[in-house]
Amino acid sequence: MTSTERTDVLVIGSGFGGAIAAYHLAAGGAKVVVLERGPWLTGEDFDQDFKLGSSYTRAFDFVVGEGMSILGGNCVGGGSVVYFAAMPRAPRFVFERHGSIGRRMWPAAVNRDTLDPWYDRVAESIPIHQNTWNDVSYAGGLWAAACNHAGRTANPVPAAIDPTQCVNCNWMMAGCRFDAKKSLLFTYLPAALAHGAQIRPLHEVQHITRTDDGAYQVHYQIVDDEDYRITTGSGTIEAKIIVLAAGAGATPVILQRSEPHLGTMPNAVGRYFSGNGERLNTAIINEDRVREVLGLERENGLAYEANQIGKGPVVANWDRLDGSLPEFERFSLEQLYFPPGLGTILAQVPGAEGISWFGVDKKEILKRWRSWLIIFQMIEDNNEGVFGPPPARGNADRLSQQMLGVGRLRYDPTPQTLRAWALADAECKDILERDGLAEVAAWTNDVVGAYTVHPLSSCRIGDDPATSALDDRHELRGHPGIFVTDGSAVPGALTVNPAMTISALAERAIPGIVAAAQERGIDVTYGAPAPNGGVAARRAAAPLVPELMRR
């Protein structure tokens, strides 16, 4: 069945970029519809397992490209439902990066100082807990002790978690069954609904067309609740403003598929993709040496054997986040939990020669998975990713009824990226292999290429039309009224978890979107408080708003 309707603002995607836009525009009086490709899940729906067909296969989208694979959220709330809730702010030097274009890639109007008021707005809207050493898990404590032993520092990571509700079950990747993780399901999205926004799950946007009067039509298909390869209907919604927030692996695909209808897209659509420089190392911990060298021990006489206890990343080493270092030599190292299955397939055997992600030796180290420590690297990559022609439907050719697809992303790491990974690998080994504490090996890239859970930059903001798809207010060049507010707008790798920066940029984009909506005859205002009613950060950002609304 085909349906057609009209709204003021159509938001594509309900992750950080989409939820923030939906809330502010609905609170300002606009009629807002949000289309989300994935299902609408709540705490009671989240299974604490990683079996095929359970909640995690419904809530994730894993797209295998050529040289790069992307693991992202696929549900109402997007990545906020399945991420590890780490919310650091990007270091100051990030905004001065040159990367692959040889000059500053960020717009002149955006730096750490000008973004800080918008970071503050996010912190006022999403409860962020600064972990203390009392909150740190066994794995985080082991990483901190190893860093200290090697003469390095370690820092507890700020996270969008309520520690009074967290039970340290370490099932955050499958969604939080105990509602301790303060995802968008508890912040911006309920506030958007309270102001009349409509959120429609299982609606996969295919392309956008333009009407004769300059408005847009968004064409979607309705996805079956259990088999995402099956569609059960389709429709078209007309809107004066489009906010694209489908994620850096899907937003450029939608725009590419729309090009025959809308006209030429900016050259940077689907180019300059960044995997946030991510890579994982596994350390196989020597329990005896942990006791003898670090003096650590927990109950029952165990030194560690606690990889499965805790919550996501709680401790990071930020010693290399030093702006005085050359570009591509700056990175963070963060303790991270990946569960058996997802977290063991790509792990290699330390010290092995040749392929070791499977085989007898791999079986042996799998027996000791509770003694693993996984370190998450975020380096400065070189924005090497390029999207090829879009598939016939969606962002990938789906192989299974949920989760798995083959995409059109090609990623060929440059020497700068490869060297940066090698430096981070060496730092992991230097910290963890001292005095026989552990044996360390990076995860293989031979199976699914490089991999990222934080895709960025495929439709980035910037001042140069040749290398940026969006202007500094997130409007798509040459297509007035279309805005992009998800991770694809971030110009490059951030060296830290990007959720806080994506959210701050989305908050900063809202005044310009409101101004564009007003120009198009939508009765909408800007100035809503935080979803919880807070206004202090709004007042602090107020002096920046008039310039952002000037068109």
Quickly state the pLDDT bin for 1 (edges 50, 70, 90).
very low
pLDDT band (50, 70, 90) for residue 3: low
Average pLDDT over residues 53-69: 92
Residues in the chain: 551
Instruction: Decide: 230 and 224 in contact? Cβ < 8 Å.
Output: yes
As a whole number of Å, the CA-based R_g of the chain is 22
Calculate the CA dihedral of residues 489, 494, 500, 503 and round it to 10 degrees.
Answer: -10
Report the distance separating Cα 483 and Cα 378, nearest Å: 28
Place of tokens 């694979």: 69
Q: Is the pTM of this model over 0.95?
A: yes
**What is the spatial distance between Cα 13 and Cα 253, in angstroms, rounded to a whole number?**
13
Is the pLDDT at 157 greater than 90, yes or no? yes
Task: Give CA torsion, residues 93, 98, 104, 110, to 10 deg.
Answer: -40
Least confident of 288-292, 334-338, 437-441: 334-338
- Tell me the mean pLDDT in the region 331-339: 92
Q: Specify whether the CB–CB gap between 93 and 212 falls below 8 A.
A: no
Mutual angle of helices 499-519 and 112-125, in 10-degree steps: 90
Q: Are 163 and 39 in contact (CB under 8 A)?
A: no
Half-sphere exposure (Cβ direction) of 146: Cα atoms closer than 13 Å: 35
At 491 the pLDDT is 98
The angle formed by the CA atoms of residues 52, 498 and 126, to the nearest 5 degrees, is 90
pLDDT in tens, 424-462: 999 999 999 999 999 999 999 989 999 999 999 999 999
Which tokens belong to 103?
């000059």
Confidence of residue 519 (pLDDT cuts 50, 70, 90): very high
Please give the helix or strand (H or E) that residue 208 lies within, else none. Answer: strand 203-210
- Torsion from C-alpha of 177, 180, 184, 187, nearest 10 degrees: 130
Name the H helices within 83-200.
112-125, 138-149, 188-194
| pLDDT value at 2 more than 80 | no
For 41-52, the pLDDT digits (tens) are 999 999 888 877
Fill in the amino acid letter for 317.
Answer: N
pLDDT at 15 over 50: yes
> How many other CB atoms are found less than 10 A from the CB of residue 14?
34
List CB contacts of 158: < 8 A, sequence separation 6 or more: 86, 87, 88, 128, 129, 130, 131
The torsion defined by the Cα of 4, 8, 10 and 11, in degrees rounded to 10, comes to -160
φ and ψ at residue 510, rounded to 5 degrees:
-60, -45
Domains, the chain, with CATH or none: 1-125+173-275+381-411+449-551 (3.50.50.60), 130-159+278-379+413-447 (3.30.410)
Residues 6+ apart with CB under 8 A from 213: none
| The pLDDT of residue 339 is above 90 | no
Q: What is the mean pLDDT of residues 151-169?
A: 95
* Listed residue (457, 407, 409) closest to 61, CA to CA: 407
The token pair that represents 334 in the structure block: 């963060």
The stretch 251-257 carries a mean pLDDT of: 98
State residue 483's pLDDT score: 98
Neighbouring residues of 47: CB distance < 8 A, sequence distance ≥ 6: 54, 55, 56, 174
The mean pLDDT value of the chain amounts to 95
Residues 199-213 have a mean pLDDT of 97
Contact 507, 526 (CB under 8 A): no
Work out the angle at residue 405's Cα, subtended by the Cα atoms of residues 401 and 410, and round it to the nearest 5 degrees: 175
Element housing 140 (H / E): helix 138-149
List all residues 6 or more positions away from 203 whose beta carbon is below 8 Å from its beta carbon.
35, 36, 37, 220, 221, 222, 223
Using alpha carbons, list the distances in angstroms from residue 256 to 237, 263, 407, 476, 513. 19, 10, 13, 13, 22
Comparing C-alpha atoms, which of 460, 66, 498, 463 is closest to residue 269? 460
23's CB contacts (< 8 A; 6+ apart) are 188, 189, 191, 192, 195, 197, 528, 531
The sign of the dihedral angle between the CA atoms of 74, 77, 83, 89 is positive
Q: How many CB atoms lie within 10 A of CB 101?
A: 18
